[in-house]
Amino acid sequence: MMQKVFTKPEALKDCQTHYCPGCGHGIAHRLIAETIDELGIRGRTIGIAPVGCSVLAYDYLDVDMVEVAHGRAPAVATGMKRTNPDKIIFSYQGDGDLAAIGTSEIIHAAHRGEQITVIFINNAVFGMTGGQMAPTTLLEQVTTTTPLGRDAGKQGYPLQVSELLAILPGAIYIERCALSNPAQVRKAKKAIKHAFELQLNNAQGLSLVELLSPCPTYWRMTPAKAIEWMENEMIKIFPLGRLKG
Amino acid sequence: MSEKILMCGNEALAEAAIVAGLDAYFGYPITPQNEIPEYMSKRMPEEGRVFLQCESELAAINMVYGASATGKRAMTTSSSPGVSLMQEGISYLAGAELPSVIVNVMRGGPGLGNIAPSQGDYFQATRGGGHGDYRTIVLAPSGVQELVDCMPLAFDLADQYRTPVLVLADGILGQMMEPVVFNKKPRRKLPPKDWALTGADNRKQNIVRSLWLKEGVVEQHNYDLQAKYKEIEKNEILCEQYEVDDAEIVVIAYGIAARIVRGAVNKARQEGIKVGWIRPITLWPFPTEQISKAAENFKIFLTVELSCGQMVEDVKLAVAGKVPVPFYGRPGGGVPTVEQVLEKIRQLTLRPENVV
């Protein structure tokens, strides 16, 4: 008898994604799908896709999903969870979506202690629009709108949203992980599962997992170099670990 | 509540929404409609339903979007500047075909304007306001009882056509008190919400979206929306006529302006002036055909609004040059008196050759 050691999660569709080689979204999608399978919540989960590279997340995640305006996912999630307390609501948001245009919505959702789970993908750049500066872009990082590198005097410092959110009583669990190597990916999986479990167990407040994620295309690097840059540079500004809960 | 009680428009419309089966109310304070969230904050929890004061109108309309996507009846209310902020969300609601009800208790603009009654948001309400080729149904009641009666209609229309519905009131309607009765009239038979996001439990995944990148799909989506709008135009026009049978002059007004005009028409009749009154109740779909037909029998169409003239453009389109369409209005919180409208009617009777 052959033993099956690797299989596709039920909550993940069997198809190719549109993501670039070396992108972290595919890994993040898979971790969410595995979590949904393991917790047996596919039939009561509703996901929210952002505006950004992962706007088509519903093409890959096989759960009920809604696509919303740029940055507004936490408000939409609030409307869903308040009217459907028995459902598991998660938003999937990039750093442009959550940390730029949607700062008001995420801060107030956390502030109110909404019982939702947020998966926050931080790749330090606007991907879908072609590699412009994000609030999370590192100092000296070259993007299409910081051709000379980000200058703190002109464009401000990288925004550490998770640290900001962690001070709010309504945010009960905040952890930052990195999709950089198998060990870190396993940690990320644990964090995502914990965030979903909190909601499943009716814990009173918002849970958020920030995932540092490579974007070789707009970092102008090979996928291998991108992982190195993430581990050597990005983690210095966005230190890994549990910030709350 | 089937007995007659005295209520202000804002509270009455809130209660009517609850009676109509509202599941969730999301709102942000703004004058002159603050009685609505205040009333809801007490009544919705009593009914075991959702009330939430949001961080902004942007959040409010997106919470409506979220609740509606799961098949719930959701509503937000605001006044002009707040409704401007909601336009992004309304475009998304139209694109994703989510039923929803938005009440605008209009105040003076542009900008922060003032908190006095106005009808300056007619263009915004009837032309979409947000981006893209879409329409929203717009109901314009002219009294507190009609405000009460149009709330269940707004929810039914939203569900039947999967579209946002605007209720256009103004500072007077919201604040004034009139006797009302909450009738439980028979309701429409509505289609099941099999598109709603309820969890893919033993069924295929449901997706609520307004984005399709494949060539031609959004074009087709737009044709489908337009076909739906045609259907609404065919079935849902509401319009009231008064004293038009022998009239030579007809005055057109909606909402609170129509109440003022009605007073002026009655007085003009006492002076022997043959004047009547047409009141669109749906501003979109607009009673174009009714007005076009009427233009064959009357000499003049006077349009009266609490604005510098917005609906008058739709009246002109309907009349198509057959007769003159003069305008009288006051913007920015100015409210025409019965005497001012009457004087305008008298002038038109005495010197019709001066009409432009």
Q: Could you tell me which chain B residue has the CA closest to the CA of A83?
A: B67
Of all residues in chain B, the one with the smallest CA distance to A78 is: B63
Render pLDDT for A88-127 as a digit per residue (tens, 0 to 9): 999 999 999 999 999 999 999 999 999 999 999 999 999 9
| Other CB atoms within 10 Å distance of the CB of residue B1 | 13
B69 and A66: CB-CB below 8 Å? yes
**Chain-chain contact of B205 with A58 (C-beta, under 8 angstroms):** yes
**What's the confidence (pLDDT) of residue B354?**
60
* Mean pLDDT on A216-235: 97
For residue A210, give the H/E element and its range: strand A206-212
Give the A window 21-80 contacts with B, CB below 8 Å.
42-46, 48, 55-56, 58, 62-69, 72, 75-80
In the prediction, which pLDDT does B353 show?
A: 63
Report CB contact under 8 Å: B69, A80. yes
**CA closest to B57 among chain A residues:** A75
ipTM of the complex in this document: 0.97
A195 Cβ contact partners less than 8 Å away, ≥ 6 residues apart: A117, A118, A119, A173, A175, A207, A208, A209
Tell me, what's the pLDDT at B187? 82
Question: Cβ–Cβ of A79/B62 closer than 8 Å?
Answer: yes
Please, what is the average pLDDT of chain A? 97
Cross-strand partners of B167: B103, B139
Alpha-carbon torsion B335, B340, B344, B346, what sign? positive
Shortest CA distance to A64 belongs to which of B100, B69, B160, B163?
B69
Contact call for B26 and A55, based on CB within 8 A: no
Cβ–Cβ gap B59/A108 under 8 Å: yes
Look up the CATH number of domain B5-235.
3.40.50.970
Considering only the top CATH level, what class is B240-354?
alpha beta
**How do the domains of chain B map onto residue ranges?**
5-235, 240-354
**Locus of tokens 């509703």:** A46
Distance in angstroms (rounded) separating the CA atoms of residues B94 and B97 = 5
Give the pTM: 0.97
Of B29, B43, B35, the closest CA to residue B9 belongs to B35
Mean pLDDT by 10 residues, chain B (356 residues): 90 97 98 98 98 98 98 98 98 98 98 97 95 98 97 97 98 97 86 98 97 96 98 98 92 97 97 96 97 91 97 97 95 97 93 62
Chain A, nearest residue to B209 by Cα: A67
Please state the three-class secondary structure of B217-250 as a single string: HHHHHHHHHHHHHHHHHHHCCCEEEECCCCCCEE
Taking CB atoms and an 8 Å cutoff, what residues of chain A touch B59?
A: 72, 75, 78, 104-105, 108
Tell me if B26 and A105 make a contact (CB, 8 A cut-off). Answer: no
In terms of CATH, what superfamily is A25-244? Thiamin diphosphate (ThDP)-binding fold, Pyr/PP domains (3.40.50.970)
| Domain boundaries along the sequence of chain A | 25-244
Give pLDDT, residue B126: 97
- Do B62 and A114 form a contact (C-beta atoms < 8 A)? no
